[in-house]
Amino acid sequence: MQPTQPLPPLGAIWSAAATTFRLWATAPHRVQLVLGGRAAPLAMQPDPGLPGLWALDVPDIPEGTRYGYLLDGEGPYPDPCSRFQPDGVHALSAVVAPGRYRWSDDGWPGLTMDGLAIYELHIGAFTPAGTFAAAIERLDHLRDLGVTAIELMPVADFPGTRNWGYDGVALYAPARVYGTPDDLRRLVDAAHARGLGVILDVVYNHLGPDGNYLRLFSPDYFTDRYRTPWGDALNYDGSDSHATREYVLQNATMWIREYHIDGLRLDATHAIYDSSSRHIVAEIAARARAAADGRRIVVIAENETNDTRLIRPVADGGYGLDGVWADDFHHAVHTALTGENEGYYADYDGSPEAIAATVQGGFLYQGQPSPRTGRPRGTLVTDEPGTAFVFCLQNHDQIGNRAFGERLTALAPPDAVRAATALLLCAPETPLLFMGEEFAASAPFLYFTNHNPELGRLVTAGRRNEFSAFSQFRDPALRARIPDPQAVETFLRSKLDWHEAERNAGMLRLHRDLLALRHADPVLSRSGRAETRAAACGPQAVVVLRQTEDDVRLLLCNLGEAAPLTLETPWMMAIAMPLRILLSTADPAYRLPEEAAGTHMPASAVIDLHNFTLPARTALLLARAG
């Protein structure tokens, strides 16, 4: 019979008096602890009450001591719950003393979805140095930008020296190429000092293929009942799944407790398979909140099936999460801006009706058939708040999973991107920006790895072959031009050039102004999805009404050529009063240096919606005149 209570803490649990080494391993009959500087291994003691659990208390262990485990005499292997792998994921683990760090964030309240504006970044590509310490130097920029939280792509250690992080194998150990565990703590501490929360992307649907030693400790960590696109699924619902669940649950709580992380972004929850009475995703959220000990945290899911169960309360049969990535907005707007319609974009026509329905509904697909697959997609959105849906124009997936990693500003005119930015930041949903988006970064974000040569060759070939279904890459010679993930140049090209923040100051100014309005404007900061109406108002134009009891804001967003404004719905007719311009994305102050002058109506100009032509590729934020 499986244990039903949480297991005691796994890993090397340090204290000044003694370090407790605790391990779950059902495969070996004998487990020995190897300590750096000690000639003879020490026998681990099995727990008679919990078969598979081994433990040993060792006094006077200095922080940084290397250790590993012999399994029936083979090894030593790193600890599955190692807090640090200073010499790489194949080497010995290191003892870490998290309690020695002196935090300075006692007054930090944590995060909620209300008012949240997220900035996603990859530590290795965010700065030239690519470290936790170097990221601290850019926090003032992010505070001044107006975002309220940074979201770190996965930092769990991986093989080699560069990786997106989704091939992590040492889930408890911050990647040594980014710095030490205390360097990550300093980054979180420094963010809190500037009023910024920190969300961490975590991967609980699979582990990477290189450096994954879990099977040597127990075959029960994985299952062959399910299969993910990236490898074997973790065993969350089999007869011997309790330790796997604890492995993940303790990992989630570690980030909250030992690193003061303010939220988790759960990668690809649609590929986390669990038929248990309590889904592991719901349990992660509950255990993470308990670990926060009163501090507010958020738990956000990535989920391609548009499943509202994730964000419904547990009492209503949901999983109790705070938010979900809602990619329909990205796909609908991207299609409108670029005309791309292959792959998953085949489900989107880029019409203003589709964009408006997504803004008003959170999801576009709420159970209707997908044109691409013919199968129903999504679930019905009811009273879920707008803040529970995370919208973006760019993120690591949508840029990095393109063959050449192009950003949106390389695919669409800058004025159209500015108009779409206003739509993103004036919608009631939670916005997410991808690093460099705020200053129209030109660096691509490419897929990069640093696997061993044999695996690396397979990754390179697989990366290029996955694009063979796209018309532009059916020629093998064209696919050969796709950047090699294993090449160091692929990684270096993905790093931000921070000089562009000054060169493209106009785009940065637009983001700052829109985020300032989002936080301070009496309507944009208060009204939600229930108080929002959206509709098409031209061939490529959308109107979004945000309202409170006392006031209204109207966003006219035209992604195409100039066209007469059409007022077709009763609520649009009802607000067709003289309106003044609060912000125009055509303002010369927002242009890039290479752009020619265009049509611009100054702020405070009054317009009459009954006889108005929408300027080309422009968004106008309007308020009542007078």
| Mean pLDDT value across residues 114-140 | 98
Residue 343 lies in a domain: no
What's the pLDDT band for 347 if we cut at 50, 70, 90? very high
Does residue 477 share a domain with residue 551?
no
Tokens 């702020």, residue located: 603
Q: Are residues 460 and 543 in the same domain?
A: no
Task: Choose among 46, 85, 47: nearest CA to 66.
Answer: 85
Cα–Cα distances in angstroms (integers) from residue 510 to residues 149, 151, 316, 394, in the given order: 19, 21, 41, 16
The CA-atom distances, in angstroms, between 175 and each of 41, 86, 207 are 27, 8, 15
Question: Which of 27-31, 37-41, 453-457, 538-542 has the lowest average pLDDT?
Answer: 37-41
Read off φ and ψ for residue 372, nearest 5 degrees: -75, -40
Angle between helices 352-361 and 327-338 (to 10 degrees): 160
**Domain coverage including residue 458:** 453-485
How far, in Å, CA of 562 to CA of 606, rounded?
A: 19
- The answer to whether residue 317 sits within a structural domain is no
pLDDT greater than 60 at residue 574:
yes
Rounded to whole angstroms, the Cα distance separating 337 from 134 reads 34
Quick one: 552 and 618 in the same domain?
yes
Q: With respect to residue 474, please indicate whether it lies within any of the assigned structural domains.
A: yes
Token pair for 71: 């399994």
**Helix or strand (DSSP H, E) at 493:** helix 488-493
618 in a structural domain: yes
- Give pLDDT tens digits for 4-27: 678 999 999 999 899 999 999 999
Is the pLDDT at 3 greater than 70? The verdict is no
Of all residues in the chain, what percent carry a pLDDT higher than 90?
A: 86
Question: 617 and 557 share a domain?
Answer: yes
Q: What angle in degrees, to the nearest 10, is found between the helix axes of 181-193 and 242-259?
A: 50
Domain assignment present for 591? yes
190-217 pLDDT, tens per residue? 999 999 999 999 999 999 999 999 999 9
Asked if the model's pLDDT at residue 368 lies above 80, the reply is: yes
pLDDT of residue 2: 54
- Are 205 and 59 a contacting pair, CB within 8 Å? no
Contacts of 563 (CB under 8 A, 6+ apart): 538, 539, 540, 541, 613, 614
Q: What is the dihedral of CA 365, 368, 372, 375, to 10 degrees?
A: 120
Q: Does residue 429 sit within a domain?
A: no
Q: Are residues 538 and 617 in the same domain?
A: yes
What CA–CA distance (Å, rounded) separates 380 from 316?
14
Residue 1 has pLDDT above 70, yes or no: no
Note if the pTM is more than 0.75.
Answer: yes
Residues 151, 267, 307, 397: which is the catalytic one? 267
Q: Choose, from 302, 327, 384, 438, the residue flagged as catalytic.
A: 302
Task: Specify if 414 maps to a domain.
Answer: no
Q: Around 5, how many Cα atoms within 13 Å sit in the side-chain half-sphere?
A: 4
Give residue-wise pLDDT tens across range 579-607. 999 999 999 999 999 887 766 777 778 88
Element (H, E) at 220: none
The count of domains in the chain is 2
What are the tens digits of pLDDT across the range 448-493?
999 999 999 998 888 888 887 787 788 888 888 899 999 999 999 9
C-beta separation of 310 from 303 below 8 A: yes
d(CA 202, CA 268): 10
326 band by pLDDT with thresholds 50, 70 and 90: very high
> Would you call 267 a catalytic residue per the annotation?
yes
Reported as type and span, the H/E element at residue 511 is helix 505-520
**pLDDT of 386:** 97
The CATH number of whichever domain residue 619 belongs to comes to 2.60.40.1180
Classify residue 47 by burial, with Cβ atoms within 10 Å: 0-12, 13-18, 19+. Answer: middle
- Rounded Cα distance between 612 and 626, Å, is 19
Cβ 538 vs Cβ 562: under 8 Å: no
Beta pairing partners, 619: 557
Average per-residue pLDDT in the chain? 94
- pLDDT bracket for residue 608 (50, 70, 90): confident
Q: Is there a contact between 22 and 69 (Cβ–Cβ < 8 Å)?
A: no
pLDDT for 250-294, tens place per residue?
A: 999 999 999 999 999 999 999 999 999 999 999 999 999 999 999
Q: Is residue 596 part of a domain?
A: yes
